[in-house]
Amino acid sequence: MLRTVLGWVMAVGLWELVGRTLLAGRHLVGTPSGIVAKLVDNAEVYGRGLWFTTREAALGYLLGNLAAVALALLVVLLPGVERLVLRFALVVYCLPLVALGPLLRLVYGFGDGPQITLAAFAVFYLTLVPLLVGLRAVPQSWLDLTATYGRGRWTTLVVIRARASLPYLMAGLQATVPAAFLGALVGEFTGAERGVGVLSILALRSLDTDGLWALMLLSTAVSLLGYLLVAWAARRLAVEQPTVLLSTPGHGRGRSASERLLRALGGILVTTSVVLAAWVGVFAVTGLNPYFAKRPWDVWDWLVSSPESGAHRDELLTAALETAAVAIPGYFAGLLLGVVLATLFSLSPRLRRALTPVAVALRCVPVIAIAPLLVAALGRGAFGTAVVVAIMTFFPTLVSCLYGLAQLPGQVADVFATYATPSTRVLLLGRLPAMAPAFFASARIAAPTALLAATVAEWLATGTGLGNMMAVDAATSRYTSLWSTVVVVTLVALAAYALVEAVERRVLRVVAPEQLRW
Amino acid sequence: MTAAGVRGAPEVVCAAVGKTFATGAGPLAVLEPRDLTLAPGSVTALVGPSGCGKSTLLRIIAGLERPDPGGSVLIDGDEPLAVRRRGEMAIAFQDASLLPWRTAAGNVALAQRLAGRPADPARVSALLRKVGLAGFERARPAQLSGGMRQRAAIARCLVTEPRLLLLDEPFGAVDELTRRRLNIELPPLWSGTSTTTLLVTHSIPEAVLLADRVLVMSPRPGTILADLPVALDRPRRMQHLHSEEFTRLVERVGALLGVDQYAADEG
């Protein structure tokens, strides 16, 4: 106990020292004393901002999770619609939140509506996927049990699936606490009137590093509190840890390659039609002003058929390449760093024990809150944006990999122990393959997030790339351009997700075939 | 004494029941089409090697699996689904398949609820006492041993007084010593009632000890090699394991399945 306290005192002292000497004037890290001073001086302003942000995040969290549960139940009762629902949900997850902020603001007018909606969007998919896994991860004999008494889907859902999926739901509910903050913050970055995100932007403009740190720590603390609250509720409900990790459904078993391709193309066609129909339908029903609520044909016109479309495409391509140039290296750097650090930790049991609680805390950092901080610290160039992307990718990767590395079954570990295998070889032959499902699950989810991080950083600072293009479009009311960019960014995010998923299937087919069928 | 003709126990008539599964590598025949009748109130054991389709046959009789076209199962003239809907069927699975979040009593009571019967806690605890779980009513499956879980699963089957009882390797997941105890202790709870019973097992001694009739199945595609009556009186006891009839039947089944020395190892 004393040693822990001493350790913390020394760490904070070192931080203060480094902040005051080596890094003074670099706007990278504030000093503990400065942060505390900010917190005290601005207690009322920060407190109010935090209250607004927390309320938005909480409402979005509630709505997004309710939507996810409702859709999951729909899928269980009507299994035919599962692929469609999952694809549609993925499209929603891949929407560029930065551009939705200003667009939603036009719809809702002033207020918290956009932030709440964005929080719900950020949450929705992350709960839906594990919940569906949980609702389906039920032993066949439990299903036979209800069938034995001639009962149907409804009874099975109520008596068996609902309870069996609880651990998965709780895992989703925990993981989405920081995601809700992310959504709310992105909404605040892109033009809200109040909240921590707005305060962060103000602090960023005045190069107030201590203030940025204080705000980031406040968001993290609230997010961590929410996370612990859900974890406590899960324990109270006596919920066990879920065993299967967020895996996508296994499609196309026992089908030929051409058949799979045809089915995939058919699926894309159906999803595209549904998305387009929803787009047109929602706009028609709500009667949104076509001045800003552009329809698919307006986008088509802008991108493809109008005389200036060539210039538009060039503009978009240039911006996309700029974004890719930071997002791709950042993404891979984040993945690599996550894997390498998790691997190093796993080689030392002491380090692992010490870092597991830290990893839990890291999971709760609404990483996007760091974006303004990094932009302030590293400058408004490409490097700063790439670092934002890398960090955004790194945190979830590290946590997933630490979890995954521990998934080597005890009996297999015993086999290695029988031959006194050195831990590096156990790592190579046992732990890394065992880690693959967890790693890919997080890499898949992180691909659209990397794009989000890049566009947020660009929106906030750099003046390049798709994020900047959307910012300029929104500020200058170039709504057709904005909608077209939204479409393109969504498609790019979907492509990135699909690409990671394709690699995942290749790898898992070798190291974890059981993950591909459920 | 077989319980043939006891009022209420149904006759099960399978006509031309076979099963072929479609796989990536083409159709796979698991069960050759054949007729089979289970007499009312009888206890029939299906014994055979793993993968011979005996569980598939049980699942087809339960209506959980469809037979290939042309085959049919009738239980006193009814489709299996109708029997299930009336709550007159029960199945015991290889792994006890208790819901981990319910207590032992809760799992047993669940069958009452699923079968549409009024809740009857007194009956649940009486039955748990009968299967030897007195004092464990409030224990959760994780707190029970493998044998105790199977006892609870059997109680869950019996609580609805099923007319058709299907036992799919009910003791397959417990150790050999526990299995023998359960083989002696539990069957008296259902034999002699108005129940027709089908037991699927890969244990030859268990099949002979529990059944009035043993059907020996060949490896895939499964077909019935022999239909042997068991002339042991009831209730069956430990002593039967050493009777001449028991040994003769075990050796006979072992020979049919090509298991030499089976009786010496297991009997």
**pLDDT (tens digit per residue) in B44-55:** 999 988 878 888
Owner of token pair 């065993």 = A243
Per mean pLDDT, which of A51-55, A167-171, A387-391 is the most reliable? A51-55
Positive or negative: CA dihedral A76, A82, A84, A88: positive
Question: What are the phi and psi torsion angles at B31 (to 5°)?
Answer: -140, 120
For chain A, what percent of residues have pLDDT higher than 70?
91
CB B110 within 8 A of CB B155: no
Helical H segments across A21-149, by residue range: 32-41, 43-77, 82-94, 97-108, 113-136, 140-148
Mutate to test the interface with A, among B79, B89, B99 (most CBs of A within 10 A): B99
> What is the C-alpha to C-alpha distance for residues B223 and A134, in angstroms, rounded to an integer?
38
Does the pLDDT at position A185 exceed 60? yes
Lowest mean per-residue pLDDT among A218-232, A345-359, A497-511, B151-165: A345-359
C-beta atoms of B114 and A155 within 8 A:
yes
Does the pLDDT at position B62 exceed 60? yes
Cα end-to-end span (Å), chain A: 46
pLDDT band for A249, please (50, 70, 90 cuts): very low
Q: Which chain B residue's Cα is nearest to A154?
A: B114
Q: What's the gap in Å between the CA of A498 and the closest CA on chain B?
A: 25
Does the pLDDT at position B4 exceed 80? no
C-beta atoms of A148 and B81 within 8 A:
no
Mutate to test the interface with A, among B55, B78, B93, B156 (most CBs of A within 10 A): B93
pLDDT of residue B121: 93
Question: Under 8 Å CB-to-CB from A335, ≥6 apart: which residues?
Answer: A393, A394, A397, A443, A446
CB B176 within 8 A of CB B208: no
Q: What's the gap in Å between the CA of B164 and the closest CA on chain A?
A: 11
CB A225 within 8 A of CB A177: no
Q: What residues does CATH 1.10.3720.10 cover in chain A?
A: 28-244, 294-518
Task: Note the CATH number of domain A294-518.
Answer: 1.10.3720.10
pLDDT of residue B73: 93
**pLDDT (tens digit per residue) in A453-496:** 888 888 887 778 888 888 888 888 888 888 888 888 898 888 89
Does the pLDDT at position A371 exceed 80? no
How much is the mean pLDDT over chain A? 82
Q: Is the pTM of this model over 0.90?
A: no
CA angle A302–A303–A308, rounded 5-degree value: 60
How much is the mean pLDDT over chain B? 86
pLDDT of residue B3: 39
DSSP B47: E
Tokens encoding B202: 């890969």
Fold observed for domain A28-244: MetI-like fold (1.10.3720)
